[in-house]
Chain A
């Protein structure tokens, strides 16, 4: 059994940001713990997962992201053994596990509903996998106390507490402790944090990452929030209608989204419908009248693409200032996001853009302003 290191309160290793080269070491070709090879799952005529292949490295925090209906939960259920792939292979440490039942697999899942046992105390929930294994009561208890401490639940208070009386965050921790007690090779998560409020979710995301680092376990997380994936993951795979759209390091995906779907998924971005008119010039279809724009790269005449501009790349142009592209806009609304201000601006009626500036760079403009961006800050994407 793998001994868990309890989190040191003040450790330099904790704050340490691992350099990118470290993640490169985790390249799946090195030591894949789980390989998914051409896996397809059909329910009748509906294809939920379509010929998906990827590998998860040992000790990696891997996240599958996708909107609802993208097949991420079906994929996860196959990985833990609750569904069988229609075709394709699942290999765990090189061994095919397609038909291995969940109770025979060294993997474990934290459910969206958490699936705690409502008729058992916190302690008994955590001890469940140990009692199944026939471990002695004293050993089970010791282990449960260790795990509760690791997850910041005071065992004296929580061991005998009924799980139905625990708060959302406490229940999360109990579910994670129970899964860790099973001591799985890979821990799967089916968006367990989605029911929590934003603040608690952020705290638990960080804790989850800490626990993954201190236990050196392989975590495979499923979520519909790319933001959540970015915070925790070493690598991210984006699913769209049963297929992997893009897979890579969070930074890579942020810097160069493969297409408009991935870009849109990252949150509030501006995607402009453009039609190339020769060279680097193009027309932006605003819905009312086309606006002439300059593209960062040349395109064939008549090609239809999307132009991605992040809200933070847009800026208000002061007199005398220049930018690659400028458009006159009207400021509709501004929202304070703490350190930043978000503006909703209208180019023509019905066509709006989102702008985000730091509080210090607050626009002095009232209603009408000139908005601009540098060519290097825009990207041409396929839709």
Chain B
């Protein structure tokens, strides 16, 4: 290097600023996309919730009549159904997926990647099509009913349109979203730490309770939140498998925007539901401090 020009203070300052500038420039396309594709529409929805019922303009006097309608009618039922179904789905998925995740992370070798591909491949097919597959399975004289009738002479009615089948559909659809974070979570538990606990006299159950579960908590939390947030807004399972047995809040919102042509009420319902989900999620996050679970923060 023959060029030995001294670095002047102004040059040094520019050099310090350059990475920041490049960073800001690279981030700007995404920032703009989020601004116009996410933040602006969201604000529109929130604002629309304050417009008079059954109108289609944002330029009117704000009113709280939509919120009054929500509280005076039985929308709380659909909200409770959505929250309840989501909570049950999360719990069932945790119970089903933890052993599988453990096996995939620690025991299976080649089989683990096979299972990963198999489950990921199922995501290539649209959710609705997969749910209609279950309909064929459970309808009167469907795959299940027909088999029972032919082989065992059991007469069954349609197994569809009830709550267990809705939960089955939700568990089935959201399984990958629980399983994969859990696999990563379980992988974070060092083998030697488990062995050490075992060596220090802990039984299998104690090792699970005191070592595996706390140390894989980040995966458990991420999986649970993902499944909860996705399934609380679920619409197809209840519609396709549940018929009109259960109306979730998402289908309420859909019908306000479509059949009822009441955009302000739909917007108000959306706003309220987003607020509610946010509160639930932040509550959960505050209860389980991810940083602390990962051992980066000192235990005060």
Interface residues in chain A, defined as those with a beta carbon under 8 Å from any beta carbon in chain B = 80-82, 101-103, 107-109, 111-113, 115-119, 121, 128-129, 132-133, 160-162, 164-165, 178-179, 182
User: Does B203 lie at the interface of the complex (its beta carbon under 8 Å from any beta carbon of A)?
Assistant: yes
Q: Which residues of B sit under 8 angstroms from A162, Cβ to Cβ?
A: 295, 298-299
Smallest distance from the beta carbon of B131 to chain A beta carbons, Å? 40
Q: Which residues of A sit under 8 angstroms from B210, Cβ to Cβ?
A: 117, 128
- A119 in contact with B295 (CB, 8 Å): yes
Interface residues in chain B, defined as those with a beta carbon under 8 Å from any beta carbon in chain A = 190, 192-193, 195-203, 206, 210-211, 214-215, 293, 295-296, 298-299
- B202 in contact with A115 (CB, 8 Å): no
- B200 in contact with A182 (CB, 8 Å): yes
Report the bound CA distance from A116 to B192 in whole Å: 9
Report the bound CA distance from A160 to B206 in whole Å: 22
Q: Among A80, A101, A113, A165, which residue has its beta carbon within 8 angstroms of that of B298?
A: A165
Interface-centre pick from A119, A128, A160 (highest chain B CB count, 10 A): A119
Smallest distance from the beta carbon of A119 to chain B beta carbons, Å? 5
Top 5 closest A-B pairs, CB basis? A115-B196, A115-B192, A118-B295, A129-B200, A102-B199
Q: Which residues of A sit under 8 angstroms from B198, Cβ to Cβ?
A: 101-103
Q: Which residues of A sit under 8 angstroms from B299, Cβ to Cβ?
A: 121, 160, 162
Q: Which residues of B sit under 8 angstroms from A164, Cβ to Cβ?
A: 295-296
Q: Which residues of B sit under 8 angstroms from A81, Cβ to Cβ?
A: 199
Interface-centre pick from A80, A108, A118, A165 (highest chain B CB count, 10 A): A118
User: Besides the contacts A115-B195, A117-B211, A161-B298, what 7 more A-B pairs have beta carbons closer than 8 Å?
Assistant: A103-B199, A108-B199, A111-B196, A115-B192, A129-B201, A132-B203, A164-B295
Q: Which residues of B sit under 8 angstroms from A103, Cβ to Cβ?
A: 198-203
Report the bound CA distance from A82 to B198 in whole Å: 9
Q: Which residues of B sit under 8 angstroms from A165, Cβ to Cβ?
A: 298
Residue of B nearest to A131 (CB): B210
Report the bound CA distance from A271 to B202 in whole Å: 50
Report the bound CA distance from A189 to B180 in whole Å: 36
Residue of A nearest to B196 (CB): A115
Report the bound CA distance from A82 to B190 in whole Å: 15
- B195 in contact with A182 (CB, 8 Å): no
- A128 in contact with B197 (CB, 8 Å): yes
- A118 in contact with B193 (CB, 8 Å): yes
13 contacts between A and B (CB under 8 A): A102-B199, A103-B201, A103-B202, A108-B199, A109-B199, A113-B190, A116-B196, A118-B295, A119-B293, A128-B197, A129-B201, A132-B201, A132-B206
Residue of B nearest to A182 (CB): B200
Q: Among A82, A129, A133, A179, which residue has its beta carbon within 8 angstroms of that of B195?
A: A82
Q: Which residues of A sit under 8 angstroms from B211, Cβ to Cβ?
A: 117
Report the bound CA distance from A107 to B199 in whole Å: 8
- A111 in contact with B195 (CB, 8 Å): yes
Report the bound CA distance from A246 to B39 in whole Å: 74
Smallest distance from the beta carbon of A125 to chain B beta carbons, Å? 10
Whether A102 touches B206, Cβ cut-off 8 Å, given contacts A118-B295, A129-B201, is no
Residue of A nearest to B193 (CB): A115
Residue of B nearest to A133 (CB): B201
Q: Among B190, B203, B293, B298, which residue has its beta carbon within 8 angstroms of that of A115?
A: B190
Residue of A nearest to B298 (CB): A162
Q: Which residues of B sit under 8 angstroms from A128, Cβ to Cβ?
A: 197, 200, 202, 210
Report the bound CA distance from A161 to B297 in whole Å: 11
- B196 in contact with A119 (CB, 8 Å): no
Q: Which residues of A sit under 8 angstroms from B195, Cβ to Cβ?
A: 82, 102, 111, 115
Q: Which residues of B sit under 8 angstroms from A182, Cβ to Cβ?
A: 200-201
Report the bound CA distance from A113 to B191 in whole Å: 10
Report the bound CA distance from A281 to B273 in whole Å: 97
Q: Which residues of A sit under 8 angstroms from B190, Cβ to Cβ?
A: 113, 115
Q: Which residues of A sit under 8 angstroms from B192, Cβ to Cβ?
A: 111-113, 115
